[in-house]
Structure 1
Amino acid sequence: MTENNKTQLRVGRLTKAHGLKGAIKLELFTDDPERRFVPGAVFTLQVPTSSPWHGKTLELTELRWYNSHPVGFFRGVADRDAAEGLVKAILWIDLDESETSSEEDAWYDHQLVGLKVVRDGVEVGTVRLVEHLPAQDLLLVKTPAGEVMVPFVKAIVPSVDLAAGIVTVTPPAGLFEELPDDADEPPAAEPAE
């Protein structure tokens, strides 16, 4: 979502009530929690329209770590019942689109969506979405033949050129095309002399 040079950045998901005082365990979608999850940070909530939290924001009062899991405390969430009402909510923040990541080889989703995907100098599709999974991120690439899930790893996506609007890929055989049926069969052994 973009408005007045601002976009929404998904930074986390509320996963489970923690304790009796309204704390909620978080799944983080940001590499920079020290910057995104500070006291006073305000998050737009993505919840079902039937939720009493629909259309509201949530303000973080404290972030703690328990057994290496982040746990958030939020203004207006005073007990376990209130916390359970927020489970599965997605947290979004407003982000200025001109903001760039300070990390090398790190991009925001909105910077990648819409870029041309090029393989061997030929355009094969367009980045439609970035999926963040526990093992690795995936680029969902729209191609004429359908959607292709491309692991967003250096070996397969060696370069991203935002200025040129190009993501270069070097995928393994079969990722963007069907392999012939005989490709899975081992080569025939030559007869012994």
Structure 2
Amino acid sequence: MLRIGRIVGAHALKGALRLRLDNPDSDSLERARRIFVERGGEPKEFKLLGVSRLNATTLRITIEGIADANAADEMKGAIAMLAPEDVPPPAPGEFYYYQAIGCEVFLVDGSSIGKIEEVFSNGAQDIWVVRHGDREILIPVIADVVKAMDFDARRVTIDPIPGLLD
């Protein structure tokens, strides 16, 4: 399952939910027909009935079986997920965050600097959080730095700009 966000509460009185996206730029949910919601146990599948954007970070979704504000309130805090087969393949040069997490990061000279443990957007570009022991490096995912991404081999290659590894 691919985590896409967290349900942050009810929206109005008819069971709609507010879903805060992990990646606000993603439109994957707008094309999906089902969603999985996990709250303290196994993910449960729901038919997705409607999706609309409330603001830059939050969607309003309606799902089958949640028809009033009380039922929607009970979903607060739940994790929303999609099945990998329900998301479109990324465009050339793009990737899903889950694909990068766990990849080993190598410099162009072949030396390893750690593994990608987190990915986030700072508004201008994606950032890989690379850790090795106590060391943490924030790698901007830009063409000047990232030279190769091989998610099947679980490795990426970078050519750091001056000061990036200091």
Could you tell me the TM-score, scaled by structure 1's length? 0.66
Partner of 1:137: 126
- Which ranges in structure 2 are unaligned for 5 or more consecutive residues? none
Deviations 1:24-71 (A, max 9, x none): 1223344423333x2xx13141x3x3xxxx335141342232555531
| Deviation per residue, 1:50-108 (Å, 9 max, x gap) | xxxx3351413422325555311122222212212222322123325xx9824111223
Are 1:65 and 2:52 counterparts? yes
Matched residue type, 2:19? L
Structure 2: distance between partners of 1:115 and 1:10: 18
Of 104, 109, 117, the residue aligned with 1:116 is: 104
Number of residue pairs aligned between Structure 1 and Structure 2: 159
TM-score (ref. length: structure 2) = 0.74
Structure 1 alignment gaps of length 5 or more:
1-7, 178-193
8 Å contact from structure 1 (residues 130, 137) kept in 2: no
- Residues 113 and 126 of structure 1, relative CA distance in 2, 3 Å threshold: farther
Q: Which has the larger radius of gyration?
A: 1
Which structure would you say has the larger RCO, counting Cα contacts within 8 Å and 6 or more residues apart? 2
1:14/1:27 contact within 8 Å kept: yes
What's the CA shift for 1:23? 0.4
How far apart, in 2, do the equivalents of 1:82 and 1:107 lie? 35
* Alpha carbons 2:54, 2:60 under 8 Å: kept: no
RMSD of equivalent CA atoms: 2.9
Amino acid at match of 1:104: P
